[in-house]
């Protein structure tokens, strides 16, 4: 039998990577997005965002790019998409609703409503977006109502766990695949699509719809809880005079706890963890199970408090008032190896400092354009050294490798005061001290 043809709907962080990865796995792929500029960019083999390795993958497969396999094409026509595909991946975003905790399903609903009326032959629609539990059931009903092929069209739920910065690797070599399905046909089709990762050893877990939806939200809740746990320990260390970095190292040697995701600092941000735990709480409330997730409210507030604590530490470092003080900020993105500034703790801290009267200058290796669009009133500098120039204090807020490699002596020449605050606990304090800097970090009062 011929290989199934794959379509990808929504070409953002998730969809663009998924489309390129499917082409890399050998499938003919057609991608659709409702933003015409995104399609134009992708047609030239250019990624819509910074993601290591994605540009190479697009150039290797986008039709029309010299030397490419030609397996990856893009369209804005739903009709063409439905005609082409056997498996349709829904990869649109599900942001937090304005002014509410709940998740905004309007993009998912609109995508399904646009696709379904064109489905007049057997097809599998596969949801990858992060959605409130119960959505797949509702969408399956809608699909059955709208698709001319009726029972020959089915829905599956296949959540995505990729991390920004490692998206290509995580998509090609997933640590697990989860398939919420209602028939053997759907399961077999997904096994065929993922045959290569499965052959490489990725576990393939088959579930019902609600479990598949919950795997995603509970995994993100666990990760958020782990980070807030260590940040709560940082708060205690700050009052008790302990060192949270040593503490994390020591408890991490216990295999049951593990060392990963125990890095204390200004906390988690990005397009996933914060909105996913909030949407999960909102959904649990609707289902009458809010008590089960009240701890997530605490996870969220511990996380948000760390941003405030960073502002306080900065205020102390500049002598009690931020008014008129010059502050250099290293980092704007929510994590390194990404240009994503959505709910970025770094930008949030920079913004708070400026609102309290400081003059803030930010530098980030890849996030400048997005940061400027979101916070146009902050100062921006073309290099780390320029951001540090004249600063009364320098803040390290995103743990880019570039910042680890900075020369404290060189930066010491341009700042007004050699004072560094590490909000990510990844810089080598001894190196900075040797170059004459005062070095302070969250959760490490003994430094
Ligand atoms: C996350 C999940 O990891 C991924 O599986 C899911 O599919 C999407 O959401 P991502 O948003 O790319 O991925 O970021 P992640 O690597 O989880 O980091 C989230 C935030 O936590 C970042 O702001 C990061 O700086 C912060 N973090 C992470 C910490 O503060 N401490 C840590 O120890 C780890």
Same domain, 61 and 176: yes
Q: 445 pLDDT band (50/70/90 cuts)?
A: confident
Same domain, 174 and 277: no
Tell me the per-residue pLDDT of 354-393, one tens digit each, with 9 for 90 and over.
999 999 999 999 999 999 999 999 999 999 999 999 999 9
- Give the distance (Å) from ligand 1 centre to CA of residue 270: 7
β-bridge mates for residue 73, sequence order: 30
Distance CA 105, CA 89 (A): 16
- Residue with the smallest CA separation from ligand 1 atom 34 is 261
Same domain, 178 and 35: yes
Residue 173 lies in a domain: yes
The pTM is what? Answer: 0.96
Average pLDDT over residues 55-66: 98
- pLDDT value at position 2? 87
- Give the distance (Å) from ligand 1 centre to CA of residue 161: 11
Same domain, 198 and 230: no
Q: Tell whether the model's pLDDT for residue 224 goes beyond 70.
A: yes
Q: Is 272 known to be catalytic?
A: yes
CA-based angle 150:152:155, to the nearest 5?
A: 90
- Residue with the smallest CA separation from ligand 1 atom 3 is 163
Residue 1 lies in a domain: no
Residue 158 lies in a domain: yes
Is there a contact between 248 and 264 (Cβ–Cβ < 8 Å)? yes
Same domain, 42 and 139: yes
Beta strands 204-207 and 177-180 are: parallel
Q: Which residues form the pocket of ligand 1, taking CB atoms under 6 Å from any ligand atom? A: 160-164, 220, 223, 227, 261-263, 265, 267-270, 272-273, 334-335
Show the domain range for 66: 6-207
Question: Residues 6 or more apart from 362 whose CB is under 8 A from it?
Answer: 329, 331, 332, 347, 350, 368, 371, 378, 379, 380, 381, 387
Q: Tell whether the model's pLDDT for residue 1 goes beyond 70.
A: no
- Give the distance (Å) from ligand 1 centre to CA of residue 152: 39
Same domain, 187 and 231: no
Residue 447 lies in a domain: no
Tell me the per-residue pLDDT of 248-303, one tens digit each, with 9 for 90 and over.
999 999 999 999 999 999 999 999 999 999 999 999 999 999 999 999 999 999 99
Q: How many CB atoms lie within 10 A of CB 364?
A: 29
- Residue with the smallest CA separation from ligand 1 atom 10 is 163
What mean pLDDT value characterizes the chain? 97
- Give the distance (Å) from ligand 1 centre to CA of residue 399: 12
Mutation pick for ligand 1 pocket among 177, 230, 268 (CB with most ligand atoms within 8 Å): 268
**Which of ligand 1's atoms lies nearest the C-alpha of 266?**
30
Residue appearing with tokens 């997904």 = 190
Domain boundary pick from 268, 299, 330: 299
Both tokens assigned to 110: 């609109």
Both tokens assigned to 217: 């939200």
Same domain, 431 and 389: yes
Q: How many CB atoms lie within 10 A of CB 436?
A: 10
Residue 345 lies in a domain: yes
- pLDDT value at position 68? 98
Is there a contact between 437 and 412 (Cβ–Cβ < 8 Å)? yes
Window from 132-146, 288-302, 406-420, 433-447 with minimum mean pLDDT? 433-447
Domain boundary pick from 207, 230, 263: 207
**Which of ligand 1's atoms lies nearest the C-alpha of 272?**
9
Same domain, 338 and 364: yes
- pLDDT value at position 432? 97
Domain boundary pick from 149, 182, 207: 207
- Give the distance (Å) from ligand 1 centre to CA of residue 262: 11
Residue 379 lies in a domain: yes
Same domain, 232 and 140: no
Is there a contact between 277 and 96 (Cβ–Cβ < 8 Å)? no
CATH number at residue 283: 1.10.1040.10
CATH number at residue 387: 3.40.50.720
Tell me the per-residue pLDDT of 383-399, one tens digit each, with 9 for 90 and over.
999 999 999 999 999 99
Residue 236 lies in a domain: yes
Same domain, 176 and 252: no
**Which of ligand 1's atoms lies nearest the C-alpha of 265?**
30
- Give the distance (Å) from ligand 1 centre to CA of residue 321: 32
Which one of 91, 103, 237, 272 is the catalytic residue? 272
Same domain, 105 and 233: no
Task: Report how many domains make up the chain.
Answer: 3
Q: Give SS3 for 92.
A: coil
Q: Tell whether the model's pLDDT for residue 211 goes beyond 70.
A: yes
Same domain, 122 and 229: no
Burial class for 239, CB neighbours closer than 10 Å (0-12, 13-18, 19+): exposed
Is there a contact between 80 and 116 (Cβ–Cβ < 8 Å)? no
Mutation pick for ligand 1 pocket among 160, 216, 223, 258 (CB with most ligand atoms within 8 Å): 223
Q: 23 pLDDT band (50/70/90 cuts)?
A: very high
Residue 414 lies in a domain: yes
């Amino acid at each position: 039998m011929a290989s199934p043809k794959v379509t990808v709907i929504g070409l953002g962080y998730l969809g663009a990577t998924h489309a390129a990865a499917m082409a890399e796995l050998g499938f003919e792929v057609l991608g659709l997005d409702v933003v015409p500029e995104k399609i134009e960019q992708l047609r030239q083999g250019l990624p819509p965002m910074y993601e290591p390795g994605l540009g190479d993958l697009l150039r290797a497969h986008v039709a029309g790019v010299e030397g490419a396999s030609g397996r990856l094409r893009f369209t804005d026509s739903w009709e063409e998409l439905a005609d082409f595909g056997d498996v349709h991946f829904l990869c649109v975003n599900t942001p937090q609703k304005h002014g509410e905790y709940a998740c905004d399903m309007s993009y998912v609903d609109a995508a399904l409503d646009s696709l379904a009326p064109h489905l007049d032959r057997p097809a599998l629609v596969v949801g990858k977006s992060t959605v409130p539990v119960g959505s797949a059931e509702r969408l399956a009903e809608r699909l059955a109502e709208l698709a001319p092929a009726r029972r020959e069209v089915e829905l599956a739920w296949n959540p995505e766990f990729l991390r920004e910065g490692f998206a290509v690797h995580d998509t090609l070599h997933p640590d697990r695949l989860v398939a919420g399905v209602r028939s053997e046909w759907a399961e077999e089709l997904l096994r065929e699509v993922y045959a290569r990762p499965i052959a490489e050893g990725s576990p393939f877990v088959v579930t019902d719809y609600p479990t598949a939806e919950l795997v995603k939200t509970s995994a993100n809740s666990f990760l958020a809880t782990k980070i807030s746990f260590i940040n709560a320990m940082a708060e205690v260390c700050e009052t008790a005079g302990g060192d949270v970095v040593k503490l994390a190292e020591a408890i991490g040697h216990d295999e049951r706890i593990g060392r990963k995701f125990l890095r204390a600092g200004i906390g988690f941000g990005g397009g996933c963890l914060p909105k996913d735990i909030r949407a999960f709480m909102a959904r649990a409330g609707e289902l009458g199970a809010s008590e089960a997730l009240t701890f997530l409210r605490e996870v969220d507030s511990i996380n948000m408090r760390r941003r405030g604590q960073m502002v306080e530490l900065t205020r102390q470092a500049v002598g009690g008032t931020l008014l008129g003080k010059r502050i250099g900020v290293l980092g704007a993105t929510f994590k390194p190896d990404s240009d994503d500034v959505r709910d970025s703790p770094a930008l949030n801290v920079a913004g708070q400092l400026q609102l309290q009267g400081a003059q803030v200058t930010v530098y980030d290796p890849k996030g400048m354009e997005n940061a400027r669009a979101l916070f146009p009133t902050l100062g921006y500098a073309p290099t780390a050294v320029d951001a540090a120039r004249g600063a009364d204090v320098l803040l390290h807020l995103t743990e880019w490798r570039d910042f680890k490699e900075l020369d404290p002596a060189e930066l010491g020449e341009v700042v007004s005061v050699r004072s560094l605050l590490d909000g990510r606990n990844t810089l080598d304090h001894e190196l900075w001290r040797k170059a004459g800097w005062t070095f302070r970090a969250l959760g490490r009062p003994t430094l």
